[in-house]
Amino acid sequence: MKRSRKVTVLTASLVSTAAVAVGVVTAGGASAAPAARAGDALGIDVSNHNGTVDFGSVKKDGRDFAFVLASDGNSFSSPEFSKQYKGAGEAGLIRGAYHFARPGGSAAKQADHFLSVADYSNDGKSLPPVVDMEANPDGAACYGLGAAEMKDWIKGFLARVKEKTERDAIIYTSPGFWKDCTGNSEMFTENPLWVAAWKVDKPEVPGGWKNYTFWQYSDSGSVPGVSGPVDVNRFNGTVTELKALADG
């Protein structure tokens, strides 16, 4: 789905565009979290497609964090971002903003657009900025870029975020996209990994990362306070460790 994370779990080079569309419908798992370490922090991620969210109810359901879509490409700003981001903070959730990347053109320009919307503050309560690297929902899966070009674009985006925020941005991706579009690059292991892997008990970790930092384990969770299915995630650590990541 455009401007939300729904399309990258399947390996792009192995399926046609039509098959990817089918994967969007069938890839989501149950809302219950897979087995993991006791005490791992749990959270959701939302976009403009989720509309109004009652984050107080999300918090009461035992969720500890929320990621919110801020921007998409060079110019789109989520009309729900300010309300959703503020609501997450007021509910006591640790929060973070993400950008749906459209590789091609100036990576710095996209990063600047993202940061102008997200208005990131190194306040000890905000998770590092996130770049969402997934298959193009509107055309060629890798945006017409070869692996070297894709790596250069990602490098430019991350460098701009680091320059502006002094934080290493989180990279959201799936093993399929990362292999197909970056050649399974190991260049970015200093950046925390948020991996999308649904209907599995343990996610595959691509690209030389030793482990994931966040895991989006389903795109069809049921969480009080959110109307309809929602992306659900776990942090690879406790709430205390999650707060330490926000503290930088």
Q: Judge whether 132 counts as a catalytic residue.
A: yes
As a whole number of angstroms, the distance between CA 200 and CA 179 comes to 18
Distance CA 197, CA 8 (A): 9
Q: 133 with 172: CB under 8 angstroms?
A: yes
Distance CA 175, CA 222 (A): 25
Give the C-alpha separation, 189 to 126, whole Å. Answer: 21
- CA dist 195 and 200 (Å) reads 12
User: Which of 64, 72, 80, 132 is the catalytic position?
Assistant: 132
Question: Which tokens hold the place of 80?
Answer: 């729900």
User: Catalytic pick from 45, 72, 80, 231?
Assistant: 45
Rounded (10°) CA dihedral 46, 52, 58, 59: 100
- Told to judge if 134 belongs to the known catalytic residues of this protein, a careful annotator would answer yes
Is 59 within 8 Å of 92 (Cβ atoms)? yes
> Taking a C-beta distance cutoff of 8 angstroms, is the pair 131, 169 a contact?
yes
Annotation says 168 is catalytic: no
C-alpha–C-alpha distance, residues 241 and 41, integer Å: 9
Q: How far is CA 78 from the centre of its chain?
A: 15
Q: Residues 64, 72, 80, 134: which is the catalytic one?
A: 134
Measured in degrees and rounded to the nearest 5, phi and psi for residue 61 equal -80, 0
The phi and psi torsions of 94 (rounded to 5 degrees) equal -70, 130
Active-site residues, by number, are: 45, 132, 134
